[in-house]
Amino acid sequence: MDWITEILNVTWNFIVLFLNENIPLVVGSVKAVIIAVAIMSVVPALVWLERRLMGRFQVRLGPNRVGPFGLGQPMADTVKLLFKESIIQSSADKFLFHLAPAVVVITAIAAFAVIPFGEPFEVFGQTIEMWGANVNSGILFVFAISGMGIYGMVLAGLSSNNKYSLMGGLRSSAQMISYELTLGLSALSIILLTGSLSLVDMVRAQETYPFILVQPLAFLLFFIAGIAETNRAPFDLPEAEQELVAGFHTEYTGMKFAMFFMGEYINMVTMSALVTLLFLGGWNAYGLPVWPIVSFAVKVFFLLCVFIWLRSTFPRIRYDRLMTFGWKILLPLCLLNLMVTSTVKVIWFP
Amino acid sequence: MLEIATVFDFTHDAVIFVVGVTAVLASLGVILCSSPIYSALYLIGHMICLALLFLLYNAEFLAVVQIIVYAGAVMILFLFIIALLGGKKEIQENSLHRSMAFAFVFTLLGELYLSATVGPTKQVQGEIPAEMFGSAKAIGLELFSKHIVAFELASCLLLVAAVGVICLAKFSFAPLRRRVR
């Protein structure tokens, strides 16, 4: 039995050496797990928050039977969704049908990897940064990954073999391509102000004042385009119940159906975090004695409430008006804002 | 006992190898697949692998642009058109296409063999400092100083092409009279 212990020893040594040499890899994996778990457990809480707030906005109570303040409701819902029968109609493309919700959730979680939420600190001689990865072009990374999320909806529409689903998928891709332009161009004015594509640099540039004070128009445009990007009301055309049954997720049941909503809520958090980082000064508290991460979380929470508030306030826009609004109003305004910003920067702050 | 440096290089090389092989397999899938939707999906996978390769060689900006432009914008239009035209699975009529595809693949492989044997590849010589490598700044400086004329000409060409396509594809239709609101 000597040779077995020998092999085990060698393997163990190799693993220890590998881990020792790849500490960034280990730290990165741990951070990835923490971020993924945290962001996924935020979703039920957010659903609860939305239902409670919507109830109050519509002068009713909202869920209040299961547990205190209805806090058990999201758990009951999750259990129900997990145990529901998963139905796939025989004419669907099975592989794509299963792939689509996974794409939505994976891209939503991956986009959160580059969102920073605090200053780095030191533990055991290792500098632990409060972000998954400090990519040099962090904001472009978020746009790229959230752009990949469109595929989930288009594939769901294509594979369901249902005309309502197809219409929903096409609508979502057209809508998201149109509003991505506005999103990118309004973020470009912030990139011009900081001279960097990294989200950490953008927050550090706002130490004295948040950029919403100098770029109010860009903030407004970015927020509107952000709501459209996350397919939230009043821009939830891809799933307009009155015209398309439920859009791209008409044929989905059980947990696969819930995964689309997971993606939507995670995207909501990501978008709120992006608005906070770009315009509201990220984790800077401006003199208030709170931890950076608390300041960041409070701002994101406030924006999430605004998202829910908008949903219960505005009716859905008609599809052609949505497109006209995007291309004929938001885009020219963005270009104008960009032109003014760059002119001011070149002439007064060279 | 293994050297420390080799272990790290091993991880890096292994990742590069896996991503490269996936890219080649995905590109094979594009031409060998009979359903247009799956072909488009393989192409998306291939482009993501290319972006990962850029990322592994420290060209972050190029990687992100590769995903935004090709995997994001161009391929979504491909899927759009497949969805509108109805992506039916093609029936294999004869083996001519298949043999052509194989011939194409083997030509590519032969070319790969040739380029591998002709001589070792030379390292790219450039004046970009190491800390700026792969950043948007380096690419911008290069693009808007040395290659500004070519860049502007290319953008003019694209604009002409876009206008030309709209002119060619234009069909006469009477716009619906707007209802008085």
Same domain, B167 and B84: no
Question: In chain B, whose CA is at the least distance from the CA of A149?
Answer: B72
Residue A12 confidence (pLDDT): 86
Tokens matching residue A278: 């770009």
B177 falls within a domain:
no
Contact A144/B134, CB-based, under 8 Å?
no
B67 neighbourhood in chain A, CB within 8 Å: 144-145, 147-148
The answer to whether B29 faces chain A, any CB pair under 8 Å, is no
A50 falls within a domain:
no
Same domain, B49 and B137: no
What ipTM was reported for this prediction?
0.76
Contacts of A82 (CB under 8 A, 6+ apart): A254, A255
B22 falls within a domain:
yes
Of the pLDDT bands very low, low, confident and very high (cuts 50, 70, 90), residue B179 is low
B124 falls within a domain:
no
- The more confident residue out of A109 and B34 is A109
Average of per-residue pLDDT across A257-280: 89
Name the most confidently modeled range: A140-154, A214-228, B23-37, B130-144: A214-228
Return the CATH number at B2. 1.20.120.1200
Domain boundaries, position B61: 1-119
Distance between CA atoms of residues A21 and B38, nearest Å = 40
Exposed / middle / buried, residue A272 (Cβ in 10 Å: 0-12, 13-18, 19+): buried
Residues A147 and A229 sit within 8 Å (Cβ to Cβ): no
Tokens matching residue A19: 């881990």
Same domain, B81 and B56: yes
Residues A147 and B67 sit within 8 Å (Cβ to Cβ): yes
B79 neighbourhood in chain A, CB within 8 Å: 151, 154-155, 158, 173
Residue B2 confidence (pLDDT): 43
Same domain, B162 and B88: no
The answer to whether B135 faces chain A, any CB pair under 8 Å, is yes
Number of domains making up chain B: 2
B41 neighbourhood in chain A, CB within 8 Å: 96, 155
Q: Which of A17, A173, A197 sits opposite B76 (nearest CB)?
A: A173
A75: left (phi over 0), alpha (psi -120 to 50) or beta: alpha
The answer to whether A14 faces chain B, any CB pair under 8 Å, is yes
Domain boundaries, position A205: 100-348
pLDDT in tens, A38-79: 888 888 889 888 888 888 888 888 888 887 888 888 888 888
Same domain, B89 and B60: yes
B166: how many CB neighbours lie within 10 A of its CB?
9
Give the residue from B119, B147, B164 where a domain finishes: B119
Same domain, B51 and B71: yes
B178 falls within a domain:
no
B5 pLDDT more than 70: no
Same domain, B112 and B143: no
Residue B4 confidence (pLDDT): 46
- The more confident residue out of A274 and A163 is A274
Give the residue from B119, B139, B157 where a domain finishes: B119
Residue B160 confidence (pLDDT): 92
Number of domains making up chain A: 1
> Residue A141: which of B11, B61, B15, B103 has the closest Cα?
B61
B180 falls within a domain:
no
pLDDT in tens, A172-210: 888 888 888 888 889 888 888 888 888 888 888 888 888
A125 falls within a domain:
yes
A262 falls within a domain:
yes
Question: Nearest-CA distance from B11 to chain A in Å?
Answer: 9
Contact B68/A144, CB-based, under 8 Å?
yes
Same domain, B141 and B113: no
Same domain, B93 and B144: no
Mutation test of the interface with chain B: which of A154, A179, A324, choosing the one with the most B Cβ atoms within 10 A?
A: A154
The answer to whether A17 faces chain B, any CB pair under 8 Å, is yes
Same domain, B108 and B163: no
Give the residue from B95, B119, B143 where a domain finishes: B119
Residue B3 confidence (pLDDT): 46
A161 falls within a domain:
yes
How is residue B34 annotated by DSSP?
S
Contact A21/B7, CB-based, under 8 Å?
yes
A264 falls within a domain:
yes
Task: Give the rounded percent of residues in chain A with a pLDDT score beyond 70.
Answer: 95
Q: Which of B76, B80, B136 sits opposite A197 (nearest CB)?
A: B136
- The more confident residue out of B178 and A146 is A146
Residue B104 confidence (pLDDT): 86
Q: What is the 3-state secondary structure (H, E, C) of chain A?
A: CHHHHHHHHHHHHHHHHHHHHCHHHHHHHHHHHHHHHHHHHHHHHHHHHHHHHHHHHCCCCCCCCCCHHHCCHHHHHHHHHHHCCCCCCCCCCHHHHHHHHHHHHHHHHHHHHHCCCCCCEEECCEEECCCCCCCCCHHHHHHHHHHHHHHHHHHHHHHCCCHHHHHHHHHHHHHHHHHHHHHHHHHHHHHHHHCCCCHHHHHHCCCCCCCCCCCHHHHHHHHHHHHHHCCCCCCCHHHCHHHHCCHHHCCCCHHHHHHHHHHHHHHHHHHHHHHHHHHCCCCCCCCCCCCHHHHHHHHHHHHHHHHHHHHHHCCCCCHHHHHHHHHHHHHHHHHHHHHHHHHHHHHHCC
The answer to whether B78 faces chain A, any CB pair under 8 Å, is no
